[in-house]
Amino acid sequence: MWKWGRLVYPVPTPSGRPTLPSFKWLKGNIHTHTTESDGDDTPENVVRWYRRHGYDFLVLSDHNHLTLFEYAEGRRRFKRPLMVPGEEVTLSIHEGRTPIHLNAIGISRVVEPIDAVETVPTIQANVDAIVSAGGIASINHPNYLWSFDHSHIKNVTGASLLEIYNGHPAANVHGAPGKAGNEDIWDGVLTGGRAIFGVATDDSHHYKDFHPGMSNPGRGWVVVRAEALEVEAIVDGLASGSFYSSTGVELADLESSSAAISVRVKPEKDFIYTTAFIGRGGHTHAESTGLEASYEPEGGEGYVRAVVRSSSGARAWTQPVFLS
Ligand SMILES: [Zn+2]
Ligand SMILES: [Zn+2]
């Protein structure tokens, strides 16, 4: 059973009751391109790829375009993946300035990008525009062209999500000497007192030629705990941190509250799994090897989140529990 931590940061509360008699774990990709922007396949074929690979929901997030996809009526009516409306609100590089991209998830209309010149005001203006269009905002690939980091993001209010993994080869997710990786940027934002949840995404563009240098589907996803496969439940689950992110590690169980965080991994092949519990400043409070791990916060950690690292290189990240 999932238990909610006491949230002391200003984050949205889940719309459902804290404990529910039943729920589902639903897998989805929330960053996807098609021929409606710079992807190399049609919305129909992209949706087909994700259906064939077992995804429950999908956000088509074309650049500055709301791609609405509806299943055809007929005998073979598909229910998966559920289509969640989305757009990548995109300010491209221009006049020497860095690109700023934000995913708008669950929007009811297209969001026009706003250029407020400086980095933080531009991110903030577009987050606000996304929220006023009925969506939640994800801050995408901060290390794409080394655009910005936690020193900027911690000054932005109202963004729900931050990409801690992006499958595009130009996303520089691992950082470099003197450059924080995406996961370190996340800890920097959390340590700065801003509640934001970490997502893994494909940022898929290429569906025909599969190669490490291409941005192919299937590299990063989220698994949302929701009452039903419905748009509102998925968006609420993302907004409230009721999900984990993955690049290949599957969790069999996850319990998360301010009293205890515990994970159980679904094993694959002979991979060995190490789970670390991380708090303020990116500090590792505990680490153990095996299929199960748990941690009882002492209260001074600021926040605690778990990351499961597989010997294969894959990861799963749980969302932080905030402590007073
Ligand atoms: Zn982008
Ligand atoms: Zn993108």
23-69 residue pLDDT tens: 899 999 999 999 999 999 999 999 999 999 999 999 999 999 999 99
The CA 61 to ligand 1 mean position distance, Å, reads 9
Ligand in nearest proximity to the CA of 102: 1
Angle at 156 between CA 151 and CA 159, to 5 degrees: 120
Q: How far is CA 1 from CA 19, 256, 262, 315, in A?
A: 8, 9, 11, 23
The CA 85 to ligand 2 mean position distance, Å, reads 15
Contact 85, 61 (CB under 8 A): no
Q: Report residue 159 as tokens.
A: 């963004």
Domain 248-324: which CATH number of 2.30.29, 2.40.50, 3.30.70, 2.60.40: 2.60.40
- Determine the length of the chain: 324
What is the CA 39 to chain-centroid distance, rounded? 20
The CA 87 to ligand 2 mean position distance, Å, reads 9
- Please report where in the chains the tokens 């209010």 appear, as a residue: 157
Q: Element (H or E) spanning 47, and its range?
A: helix 43-52
The CA 28 to ligand 1 mean position distance, Å, reads 18
The CA 203 to ligand 1 mean position distance, Å, reads 7
The CA 207 to ligand 2 mean position distance, Å, reads 14
Q: Report residue 167 as tokens.
A: 């499958």
Residue ranges for the chain with pLDDT beneath 70? 1-21, 75-76, 93-95
> Do the bridges between strand 57-59 and strand 82-84 make them parallel or antiparallel, or are there none, so unpaired?
parallel
pLDDT of residue 95: 64
Q: Element (H or E) spanning 319, and its range?
A: none
The CA 241 to ligand 1 mean position distance, Å, reads 22
The CA 72 to ligand 2 mean position distance, Å, reads 26
- Give the C-alpha separation, 313 to 7, whole Å: 31
pTM of the predicted structure, to 2 decimals: 0.92
Where are the domains positioned within the chain? 24-247, 248-324
24-247 and 248-324 share one fold:
no
The CA 30 to ligand 2 mean position distance, Å, reads 10
- Give the C-alpha separation, 153 to 162, whole Å: 9
- Please report where in the chains the tokens 């710079």 appear, as a residue: 38
pLDDT of residue 2: 38
Ligand in nearest proximity to the CA of 38: 2
- Give the C-alpha separation, 183 to 106, whole Å: 25
- Give the C-alpha separation, 223 to 211, whole Å: 25
Ligand in nearest proximity to the CA of 87: 2
- Give the C-alpha separation, 147 to 98, whole Å: 5
Q: What dotted CATH number matches 24-247?
A: 3.20.20.140
- Give the C-alpha separation, 30 to 160, whole Å: 13
For the four alpha carbons of 90, 70, 245 and 235, in that order, the dihedral sign comes to: positive
Q: Report residue 23 as tokens.
A: 């729920």
Query: Under 8 Å CB-to-CB from 299, ≥6 apart: which residues?
Result: 323, 324
Ligand in nearest proximity to the CA of 144: 1
The CA 320 to ligand 2 mean position distance, Å, reads 25
The CA 141 to ligand 1 mean position distance, Å, reads 7
The CA 311 to ligand 2 mean position distance, Å, reads 28
Gap between the terminal Cα atoms of the chain: 23
pLDDT of residue 278: 98
The CA 74 to ligand 1 mean position distance, Å, reads 35
The CA 305 to ligand 2 mean position distance, Å, reads 26
H-type alpha helices, 77-205: 119-132, 150-153, 182-191
- Please report where in the chains the tokens 């984050």 appear, as a residue: 11
The CA 261 to ligand 2 mean position distance, Å, reads 32
The CA 90 to ligand 1 mean position distance, Å, reads 7
Count, in order, helices (H) and strands (E) of the chain: 5, 18
The CA 211 to ligand 1 mean position distance, Å, reads 19
- Give the C-alpha separation, 292 to 193, whole Å: 29
- Give the C-alpha separation, 111 to 107, whole Å: 8
pLDDT of residue 76: 66
The CA 60 to ligand 1 mean position distance, Å, reads 13
The CA 293 to ligand 2 mean position distance, Å, reads 34
For the four alpha carbons of 116, 122, 128 and 130, in that order, the dihedral sign comes to: positive
The CA 102 to ligand 1 mean position distance, Å, reads 7
Contact 63, 88 (CB under 8 A): yes
